[in-house]
Amino acid sequence: MKRRPFLQTLCGAGLASAFASAQTASEKAPAKKLGWALVGLGSLSTHQIAPALLKTRNAKLTGLVSGSPDKTEKWSKQYSIDAAHIYSYERFDEIIKDPAIDVVYIVLPNSMHKEYVIRAAKAGKHVFCEKPMANDAEECREMIAACKEAGKLLGIGYRCQFVPHHVEAVRLAKEKVFGQVKHIQANFGFQSGDPKQWRLRKALAGGGAMMDVGVYALQSCRMLMGEEPTEVSAIETKTDPVKFAEVDETVNWQMKFPSGRMAQCCTTYLFNGYNDFTAVCERGKFSLGPAYSYSGLKGTCSGGKNYLDMPDVDHFQLEMEAFSQAILDGKEFHPSGEEGLRDMLVVDAIYRSIQSGKLEKVAPV
């Protein structure tokens, strides 16, 4: 299939444009490399984002924001970052005077996303923010408003939207290759380790497995259905009420879509093994599992042809190239803050349903 018609068939203009941006970013010789600063030099920044920034064609690591001088000293040597572009959290706002930094990537605990997105926008920088976007939909609205007011782009780190397996799965759904998608099951969880980590503190994480990895399953359902859920019902259970006193351990939830179709999902901090989705269609089904890992995604399809047998890509390289290209081209970016807001409206309804024990409506955008 030729690239343009293929793109036009993708689910929603947003996803098509995201994929187009990703493709364009890796095809075009860039006029310039935008400078990216990382805020928070933890696990994701260390093992995924910084290495990906060594490969990006139109972006490079030019700034660091951290509370740990030991870390910044090591990083500045490893990535040749001059001391003039290294900031503590207290001095963060001084990036307003730093022309080497075009984009700020927020890679902090979830509850800190709002504050740093708003401060970055006020400092006149474009902002890329890790998922989950914030603690709730209200915070998402404030972040969107701040970036709009500053005239800066806000992108959310939904890396799967740039991964060919996911893009192709959305095409299979949109083009009804196996007939209409009738039902989706999507699950993502893992066995949580250290009981002292911030992910188990509500004040820092906003919630538990649902906020951390449940959002991947939720995203898959929204993308593959091609419509927004209107009602949810959810239950949460704990096997370890002490370790998970502040956040959810395992959540099962169901979503009703306007067409009457349903999706069923599970997210957990209790066990490994759930990392997949299956879309059951009129004339067969297709699945990804693992679906949300950084590499090694595996698809299966009914019939003889496996449309989802694709090579690995660097998810972080693609998302950062796409965001940089949108800035360089003066275009909108998807997944934007609105995409994060849509997810968070559903997450808010899921938490309300856990509390009320009833079906809850998803609030409008």
Exactly one of 152, 159, 171, 222 binds ligand NAD (CB under 6 A); which one?
Answer: 159
Q: Does 130 bind ligand NAD (CB under 6 A)?
A: yes
Minimal distance in Å, beta carbon 107 to ligand NAD?
Answer: 5
Q: Does 51 bind ligand NAD (CB under 6 A)?
A: no
Q: Could you confirm whether 131 is annotated as catalytic?
A: yes
The CA distances from residue 39 to 49, 61, 234, in Å, are 11, 11, 34
Q: Could you confirm whether 71 is annotated as catalytic?
A: no
Cβ pair 280, 265 in contact under 8 A:
no
Q: Does 318 bind ligand NAD (CB under 6 A)?
A: no
Distance between CA atoms of residues 203 and 4, nearest Å: 45
Structure tokens at 165: 């397996």
Cβ pair 45, 38 in contact under 8 A:
yes
Distance between CA atoms of residues 361 and 263, nearest Å: 15
Exactly one of 12, 30, 51, 109 binds ligand NAD (CB under 6 A); which one?
Answer: 109
Q: Does 266 bind ligand NAD (CB under 6 A)?
A: no
Distance between CA atoms of residues 94 and 36, nearest Å: 15
Exactly one of 51, 198, 238, 361 binds ligand NAD (CB under 6 A); which one?
Answer: 198
Minimal distance in Å, beta carbon 46 to ligand NAD?
Answer: 8
Q: Does 208 bind ligand NAD (CB under 6 A)?
A: no
φ and ψ at 324, to 5 degrees? Answer: -60, -40
Q: Does 42 bind ligand NAD (CB under 6 A)?
A: yes
Minimal distance in Å, beta carbon 324 to ligand NAD?
Answer: 17
Residue with smaller CB distance to ligand NAD, 89 or 307: 89
- Residue numbers 211-230 binding ligand NAD by CB under 6 A: 212
Distance between CA atoms of residues 171 and 8, nearest Å: 10
Catalytic residue among 105, 116, 158, 216: 216
Q: How buried is 333 (Cβ within 10 angstroms: 0-12 exposed, 13-18 middle, 19+ buried)?
A: buried
Give the range of 50-58, 106-114, 257-265, 266-274 binding ligand NAD by CB under 6 A: 106-114
Looking at the annotation, which residues are catalytic?
A: 131, 216
